[in-house]
Structure 1
Amino acid sequence: MLFDDIVTASAELAATRSRKAKITILAGLLRAAPERELAAVVAFLTGRPTQGRIGTGWRTLAELEAPPASFATLTVGKVDTALGTVAGSTGAGSGQRRTEALTELFGRAVEAEQHFLFRLLTGELRQGALEGIMLDAIAAAAGVPGEVVRRAFMLSGRLPATARAAMSGGSAALAEFRLELGRPIRPMLASPAESLDEAVAELEPAIVEYKMDGARIQVHREGAEVHVYTRTLREVTAQVDELVELVRGLPCESVVLDGETLALTDEGRPRPFQETMSRFGSTREEQMRSLLLRPYFFDCLHLDGTDLLDRPLRERNEALRKVAGPHLIPGESTPAEPRTLLDGALAAGHEGVLVKALDSPYAAGRRGRAWLKVKPVHTLDLVVLGAEWGHGRRTGYLSNLHLGARDPDGGPPVMVGKTFKGLTDELLAWQTETFPSYESHRDEWTVYLRPELVVEIELDGAQTSTRYPGGVALRFARVVRYRPDKEPADADTIDAVRALTVP
C-alpha cells in the first residue's frame, strides 16, 4: 500500500467531525491494506509508529535537510522498515546514523508525506483516529461485533494485533485472546456521579470503597515472577521492590490484582501524589532512601489458573479477600450508612469514594456506569495546550495555562479555558524548564505545546461561552497537580465539561 494512501486518509479524517464518516474512511483503508502492512497502517493512523518512541526529538526533525520528492513512491512497509532502523540505532554514532536514515526517508517522501511523518514522530498527529474509533472501524472492516473487538483489545492491549486477528480470522481469531500473565490489560475506569445517594441507588447492590489519592497499579505473579505496571501499562517492577516482595509472599501460585499504591506519613495519611509517582522513576539506590509504598488492592482478575474478568464483582471480591485480605482497600458491601464511609475517607485525607455494582464484570479500558466516583469537589483531567509568559512576580516564568478537553470523536483537544491559579513557585519553575521540550511553536506571549501533558484541574463548574470553540468555559479553575500517570487519551472529554455547565 502506498504511504500516500495513509496521508490522504489522514487529511480526510481531519476534515470531518462525523464519527460515522471517520469509521467509514478507516474501514475502507483497513480492507485495502495487505496483511503484512496492516499493523503499520493501524499504528500510523492512530498516531504512533509500530516501534513506539524512536529516539528522535523535534529539533532533529526540524533541522533535517531533505527536499521533498516529486512523486509518491513510498510504501507503508518501507516507511515502517526505515523507522525500525532509526529506532534500532544505539551506541556510539547512533545519533548520526538516525539523522542519516531520517534524511533518506524524508528525501523519498513528497511534501504532504513529510508533514505527516513530522507530526507522527513528534506526537502531533491528531487526525481523529483515536482508539475508540479505530476499534469500531476494525469491527466494520472485518464484519464482526464491536464488543468482540473491544474485548480482544482489552486482553491484548495492542491495536495492531487486534486488527490482524479480526481481519484474518474474524470473531473466532478474536476469541482466542486470553488474559496472559505478564501482559497487562487496560484498567477499568469510573464515571463521575452526581451524588453518593444517587450512585448507591443506581448500582445497588453495590460496594462502597475509599477513592485514594494514589497511583494505579496492576500486579501479575506467576510462581516467584512478579511484574508491576502503571495505569498506562508501563512496567515499573524494578522501581518498587517492596511491592514485588509483598506480592511474592501472597498465598497463591498465580494472581493478577488491580489496586492503588501510595506513600504514607507516620500518622498514616497520604503523602502528596508527586512523592508516590517519583518512586516509579527511582533507581535501586534511591529506593533505599525513599519512602515505602503501601498497596491497597480492590480487584482480582485471575487467581491460581482461573480468569475472573467475566465473573461478577462479588465473586472477584471473594477471591481478593482470600489472596490479599490484609491489603484490601477500605470498603463495605451495601453499607447501611454509606455517608459514614465517605466522611471517613475524607477525614483520612483521601479523595472520596467509589461505588461499584456487585453484579458487574471487569470491563477493562471502559469508562462505563458500573463504577461511579463520588468526590466533594469537581475535578477534571485536561490537556495543556500552551502557557503564557507571566507578569509581575511571575515575570520570566511560563504561567497562565491553556487547557483543552478531549474530543471523543478523535479530533484535537478542545480549548475550554485558562488558569494560573494554584501554581506554586515550584510548579512555575518546573513548567518554565519543562514546557520547551513539548513546544510546537510560540509567539510573543505564548509557548504552544504538543498535547501530551495532562493536568488535574479543580473548578466550580462550567458556563456557556462563545469565547472557546467547545461553547463552554471553566469557572474558577485552579491547578491541583500534574498527572504523569495519565496520557492525553485519559483526559476528560468536552462532553464531561459540558455536563458541569451551570444553568
Structure 2
Amino acid sequence: MQAFAALLDALSYQPARNAKLRLIETYLRETPDPDRGWALAALTSGLDFPAAKPALLRGFGEDKIGAELFHLSYDYVGDLAETLSLIWETDPNAGPPPTLGEVVDTLQTATKMQTPAILKRWLDSLDATGRWALLKLLTGALRVGVSARLAKQAVANIGNQPVDAVEEIWHGLTPPYRPLFDWLLHDAPRPSSNAGGAFLPPMLANAIERAELDALDPAHFRAEWKWDGIRVQVASSGDVKRLYSRAGEDVSAAFPDIIEAIDFEGVFDGELLVRRDETVAPFNDLQQRLNRKVVTPKMLKDHPAHIRLYDVLWLEGEDLRALSFDQRRARLEAWNAEKPRARFDVSPLVVFTDWAHLAQLREQMTSDGIEGLMLKRGDSAYLAGRPKGPWFKWKRDPMLVDCVLMYAQRGHGKRSSFYSDFTFGCWREAAGKRELAPVGKAYFGFTDEELRWLDKWVRDHTTNRFGPVREVAPELVLEIAFDGIARSTRHKSGLAMRFPRINRIRTDKPAAEADTIDNLLRLLGTAGVENPAESAYVTAP
C-alpha cells in the first residue's frame, strides 16, 4: 500500500504527461503481482468497494473530532480523503500496514458490518500519505491527473506494444490482469480479444473552422450530422452483447432496451440518443438514462433509447477497419436494408455541392438534436486515435447569454483551495418582483488567472453561507456559452443548458442588464425546431 501511496502522491504533484507515464511505468515494472494489477485497475476505475462509501468515511471523521469541527475542516480543505488523513493519527501498536492486494482481497469478502473495524485498523497502521491513498482508493476519486487511456498507454509501453493493442484486449481481461502482464513482460501468448464482442479503439475527429475548409477538396469528403448524444460502440459476438462508451466503459446495464434489441454479430460505431415519434429528443432527456444502475419500466417507456449508426468496424467475423469509409458505408447501408431494426438506424449523409452550400445547410440546421457536422474522407480507413486529415468535426457556434453569478463552491483536488464551481442565474418576474432564478452551473472556461480573480471576488462579496456554498451579492455578470437548451423539471428555472462554460467575465456590464428567463425561452424556441434532417438529407452522394 505504501508503494501505491507513493505513486499517487508523485502523480498528484507532476503536471507533465510524459513524466506521469514514466512514474506509472516504473511502478508497474518494479511492483510484483497482484499489487501492480490492482493499481492498474484503480487508475482505470476498475475497482469498486460497495461497503466503503463516503458516508461511512465522513462518519469516521465526525466520531474523531466532532461533527461540526469535521465539517468545518472538510469545507476548508475541500477533499474528504485529505481531511480524514490529516486528522487521523498513526498508532504504533496497530501492526504493519496492509499491502494493496490485501486491501482489495479483504474488502471484496468483508461484510458491511466488518468493514468499519477493518478500515479503522488500516488507517491506524498507515502514515498520512498512506491513509490518503487508501481513502482515495475506497472512494474511487483518485484525481491525480491520470486518465484510463494514459494508464493503458503506460502498461503498453512496458511491453513495447501500441496502446491500441492493449485497448483491443482490455475488455476480455479482469483485474489483477496477470495474462496482460505475462504477455507484455514474459513472452506469454497475447490474450484473446473476442473482437466481434469487444470494444475497439475509436477513430476521433479534429476540430475545423470555416476558413480552413477552403484548403480541402469537397469532392474528397462526405458529410453527416453530428448528433447530440453520446458516442458509443455496439458490440456483439455469440452470447456477448455490450454497449460501450467512447472511452470503453461498459454501459450495457443502463440500456437493457438496446441490449435486448441486438440480434446481430459485429461492432458498430454510433450515437446513443433518446428518440420519440421519429424525432431525436434533447440531450437532457438522454441524461435521465445515463449512469443508472436500475432502470424502471417507466424510464424505458418515457425515455426510449436509440442508436444512430455512423460506421461498421466488424461484421459477421470480418474486420472492416482497413476498408475505406465509402466501402464501410456501403456495407453498413446494405446490412441495414436487409433487416431494419426498431432501435437502430443509419445516420443520413448530407448532400452538398461545395463548402459554401454546406455552410448554408449548417446555418439552416437549428435542431437541438444536432450539434454540428462531421466531415470524413471517402477513402479513409478506420484508424484508432485522432489522425490528422481524414476526419473533421465542424460544430455549430455556441449560444451566448449574460447571467449573474449567484453562488460559488470550492472545487476538488488541485482546485480545493479555490471557489471554482459557479452557479449563475437570469432575471424573471415573480409575484410582482424581479428576481434571479438559477439556470446553470459552470466550472471551466476560464484561465488560471481568471480563476484567482473570481476566487477573490467571491470571498470579497459573500453575503451568506450554506455549508460549503457561498452566496454572493448579485453584481457580477458572466457571459455563458452553451451548446443547447431544453426544458427541465429538475431545475428551478425550468430550463437546462448543454455544456455551459464561462466565456467572458463581464465587469463592464451592470447586473440589471443581464438576460432574462424570457430570453432563454426564445432561444429554446429556436433550438427546439423539429429535425428536418430526419427527412431532408437521406441520399448518399
1:275 & 1:11 partners in 2: Cα distance? 39
Offset of 1:24 from its aligned partner? 2.5
RMSD: 4.6
Tell me if structure 1 keeps the 8 A contact 2:274–2:306.
yes
Q: What are the equivalent positions in structure 2 for 1:435-450 lying under 5 Å apart?
A: none
Match for 1:131 among 126, 148, 155?
148
Asked whether the 8 Å contact 1:240–1:287 carries over to 2, the reply is no
Whole-Å Cα distance in 2 between the matches of residues 275 and 231 of structure 1?
Answer: 19
- Equivalent residue for 1:193? 208
How far is 1:258 from its partner? 1.7
Deviation at 1:190, TM superposition (A): 2.7
After superposition, give the CA deviation of every residue in 1:8-54 in whole Å (9 maximum; x if it has no partner): 2222222332333322222221111113322112234x274x43353
How far has the Cα of 1:156 moved from its partner? 1.6
1:207 aligns to what? 222
Query: What's 1:21 paired with?
Result: 19
Q: Are 2:34 and 1:36 equivalent residues in the alignment? A: yes
Query: Letter of the aligned partner of 1:30 in structure 2?
Result: L
Structure 2 letter corresponding to 1:75: T
2:53 is equivalent to residue 57 of structure 1: yes
With over 3 angstroms needed to count, the CA separation of the structure-2 counterparts of 1:182 and 1:106, relative to structure 1, is farther
Secondary structure of residue in 1 paired with 2:347: coil
- The question of 1:403 aligning with 2:406 is answered no
For 2:391 and 2:207, how far apart are their aligned partners in 1?
A: 9
Note the 1:182-331 alignment, pairs <5 A. Answer: 182-195=197-210, 198=213, 201=216, 205-222=220-237, 226-231=241-246, 233-236=249-252, 239-241=255-257, 243-244=258-259, 246-248=261-263, 253-264=264-275, 266=277, 268-279=278-289, 281=292, 283=295, 285-287=297-299, 289-325=301-337, 327-331=345-349
Q: Which is higher, the Rg of structure 1 or of structure 2?
A: 2
Contact 1:404 1:416 in 2 (8 A): no
C-alpha distance after superposition, 1:52-95 (max 9, x if no partner): 35353323113226743448642222122233235xx4xxxx3x
Query: More displaced, 77-86 or 287-296?
Result: 287-296
In the TM superposition, residue 112 of structure 1 has moved relative to its aligned partner by 1.6
CA drift at 1:303:
0.8
- In the TM superposition, residue 240 of structure 1 has moved relative to its aligned partner by 4.7
SS at match of 1:258: strand
Number of the residue aligned with 1:150: 164
What is the count of residue pairs matched by the alignment?
414
Partner of 1:411: none
Native 8 Å contact 1:378 1:458 kept in 2:
no
Measure how far apart 1:201 and its partner are. Answer: 1.4
- State the identity %: 20
Question: What is the CA–CA distance in structure 2 between the aligned matches of 1:235 and 1:406, rounded to whole Å?
Answer: 33
Measure how far apart 1:196 and its partner are.
Answer: 7.7
Q: What secondary structure does 1:256 align onto?
A: strand
3-state DSSP of counterpart to 2:206: strand
- TM-superposed deviation, 1:134: 2.8
Determine the structure 2 residue equivalent to 1:442.
none
Amino acid at match of 2:55: R
Asked whether 1:76 is paired with 2:100, we answer: yes
Query: How far off its partner does 1:219 sit?
Result: 2.0
Structure 1 residues 36 and 427 mapped into 2: Cα distance closer, same or farther (>3 Å)? same
SS of the residue corresponding to residue 218 of structure 1 reads strand
Question: How far off its partner does 1:125 sit?
Answer: 2.0
Superposition map of 1:462-481 within 5 A: none
Residues 78-137 of structure 1, C-alpha deviations (whole Å, 9 max, x = no match): 122233235xx4xxxx3x333233223323322221111222323442223333443443
**Residues 458 and 108 of structure 1: is their aligned pair in 2 closer, same or farther, counting only changes over 3 Å?**
closer
Q: Distance in 1 between matches of 2:316 and 2:53?
A: 44
1:366-425 Cα deviation digits (max 9, x unpaired): 586543211221489xx9765457799459x79764327899xxxxxx999895957988
Structure 1 segments unaligned to the other structure (5+ residues): 408-413, 432-453, 464-475, 481-503
